[in-house]
């Protein structure tokens, strides 16, 4: 039976993959995500490696991205925020109607590629909430931030003063106006002001041109670049996985995958799923899945116990095939009673519980609940991860 078959690991270098089961796919993904062996040099390098990192939970997203940095170079919370404030990493609505972290060089082309579909959704929402003149709102937002970054409250005050929003406009309505301004490349994240996010002029934070595409936007080249970036950080995935992540249509993504095959013969390998993945066709970059296969053959330890943000790309970066992170032993009953625990306690990439943190002036409280009885070794590993979280914040640890 070839390596990569249902009972084995991931395919090895130069070995055509056999049918892939959930264990092989999960191990390959942990390696590609740099969770099994964190080795990336900086936070921006992580964001670039994954192309876009879901980031509506801002500090947890920075924590989760930082888990992929080599331990000796891993930034703490202050250093991570400093990278963000400096504009080395940006945050905006892109791909889907949610925030993502991305590099400045990827902002313009990713928005050009994906924003139109999201804007169709925001347009209907604006009409439903009585935002009467979105075009004038967009111009006003661009004018307001031209003098420097503003908080959401300051943008609202400016729109109210111009008669474009009612004084009683809700945060949701202001958010819709700002999301449209992000998608239309009028604004993007500015530096934090205390604990408040700001919005800055897009062109002040993003250089001209389309990053890896050059001076001109080419949709076919963008689709190829999207596929390369997506598979680089996520190993095996289906076209529907990529659609779930990118917000693009299946038709366009299939064409993009074909274009990648034409541009780089042999770069893409395919494998059928087996077991719970039966009926799926998984695609990977040969260089990525070969490296993942070598890691699986030499290191079966995996990442052990980890405290991961609930929107980590390991969980939200896929569609139909994300079931590979389900722990067949863990039940759902204990988790249902603790809905406030958003984040994921994982063991070797399997969801084994939930957790949350609460930062005070001096202490970080970490609360956890297991979905199955943990072993003593797992409890010890969890304690070590919780201590890492407190050190990331620069606070004393308190276990909840």
Q: Which pLDDT value is given to residue 299?
A: 52
pLDDT > 50? residue 370 = yes
- Residues 203 and 348 reside in one and the same domain: no
Q: Which pLDDT value is given to residue 293?
A: 65
Among 197, 212, 227, give the residue marking a domain's end: 212
Mean pLDDT of the chain: 90
Query: Is 70 a domain residue?
Result: yes
pLDDT in tens, 269-284: 999 999 999 999 999 9
Query: Is 317 a domain residue?
Result: no
- Residues 208 and 337 reside in one and the same domain: no
Which residue has better confidence, 95 or 295? 95
Q: Is the Cβ–Cβ distance between 175 and 155 less than 8 Å?
A: no
pLDDT in tens, 179-228: 999 999 999 999 999 999 999 999 999 999 999 999 999 999 999 999 99
Q: Report how far residue 138's alpha carbon sits from residue 159's, in angstroms, rounded to the nearest whole number.
A: 10
pLDDT > 50? residue 91 = yes
CB atoms within 10 A of CB 130: 10
Query: Is 156 a domain residue?
Result: yes
pLDDT in tens, 295-351: 654 455 556 899 999 999 999 999 999 999 998 777 544 444 455 788 999 999 999
Q: Give strand ranges (E) for 186-340.
A: 187-189, 198-201, 268-272, 281-285, 305-308
Query: Is 266 a domain residue?
Result: no
Among 184, 212, 240, give the residue marking a domain's end: 212
Query: Is 280 a domain residue?
Result: no
- Residues 208 and 60 reside in one and the same domain: yes
State the burial class of residue 14 (Cβ atoms within 10 Å of its Cβ: 0-12, 13-18, 19+). Answer: exposed
Q: Which pLDDT value is given to residue 298?
A: 45
pLDDT > 50? residue 6 = no
Domain count, the chain: 2
For residue 15, name the pLDDT band (cuts at 50, 70, 90).
very low
Lowest mean pLDDT among 114-128, 144-158, 308-322: 114-128
- Residues 341 and 201 reside in one and the same domain: no
Query: Is 230 a domain residue?
Result: no
Q: Which pLDDT value is given to residue 277?
A: 96
Domain residues for the domain of 71 are 43-212
Query: Is 75 a domain residue?
Result: yes
- Residues 50 and 196 reside in one and the same domain: yes
- Residues 207 and 336 reside in one and the same domain: no
- Residues 60 and 205 reside in one and the same domain: yes
Q: Is the Cβ–Cβ distance between 358 and 347 less than 8 Å?
A: no
- Residues 207 and 342 reside in one and the same domain: no
Query: Is 243 a domain residue?
Result: no
Residues of the chain with pLDDT > 70, as a percent, come to 88
pLDDT in tens, 221-239: 999 999 999 999 999 999 9
Among 160, 192, 212, give the residue marking a domain's end: 212
First to last CA, the chain: 47
Q: Where do the H-state alpha helices sit in 95-249?
A: 104-128, 134-145, 152-161, 171-183, 202-205, 219-234, 239-246
């Amino acid at each position: 039976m070839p390596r990569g078959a249902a009972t084995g690991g991931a395919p090895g270098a130069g070995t055509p993959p056999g049918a892939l089961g959930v264990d092989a796919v999960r191990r390959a993904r942990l390696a590609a995500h740099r969770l099994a062996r964190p080795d990336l040099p900086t936070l921006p390098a992580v964001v670039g490696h994954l192309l876009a990192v879901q980031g509506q939970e801002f500090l947890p997203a920075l924590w989760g991205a930082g888990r992929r940095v080599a331990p000796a170079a891993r930034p703490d919370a202050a250093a991570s925020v400093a990278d963000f404030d400096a504009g080395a990493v940006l945050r905006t609505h892109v791909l889907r109607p949610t925030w993502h972290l991305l590099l400045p060089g990827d902002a313009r082309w990713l928005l050009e590629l994906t924003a139109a579909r999201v804007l169709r959704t925001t347009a209907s929402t604006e009409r439903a909430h009585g935002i009467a003149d979105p075009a004038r709102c967009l111009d006003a937002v661009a004018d307001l931030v031209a003098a420097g970054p503003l908080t959401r409250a300051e943008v609202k005050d400016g729109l109210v003063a111009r008669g474009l929003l009612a004084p009683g406009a809700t945060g949701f309505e202001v958010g819709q106006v700002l999301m449209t301004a992000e998608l239309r490349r009028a604004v993007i994240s500015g530096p934090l002001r205390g604990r408040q996010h700001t919005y800055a002029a897009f062109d002040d934070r993003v250089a001209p041109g389309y990053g890896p595409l050059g001076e001109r936007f080419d949709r076919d080249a963008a689709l190829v670049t999207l596929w390369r970036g997506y598979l680089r950080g996520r190993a095996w995935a289906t076209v529907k996985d990529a659609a779930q992540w990118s917000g693009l249509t299946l038709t366009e993504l299939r064409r993009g995958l074909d274009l990648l095959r034409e541009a780089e013969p042999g770069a893409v390998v395919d494998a059928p799923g087996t077991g719970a993945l039966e009926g799926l066709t998984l695609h990977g970059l040969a260089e990525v899945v070969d490296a993942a296969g070598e890691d699986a053959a030499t290191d079966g330890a995996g990442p052990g116990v980890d405290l991961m943000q609930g929107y980590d790309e390991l969980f939200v970066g896929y569609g139909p095939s994300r079931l590979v992170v389900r722990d067949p032993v863990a039940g759902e009953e204990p988790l249902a009673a603790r809905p406030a625990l958003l984040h994921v306690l994982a063991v070797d990439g399997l969801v084994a519980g939930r957790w949350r943190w609460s930062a005070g002036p001096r202490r970080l409280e970490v609360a956890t609940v297991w979905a199955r009885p943990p072993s003593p070794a797992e409890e010890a590993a969890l304690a070590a991860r919780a201590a890492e979280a407190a050190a990331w914040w620069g606070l004393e640890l308190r276990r909840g």
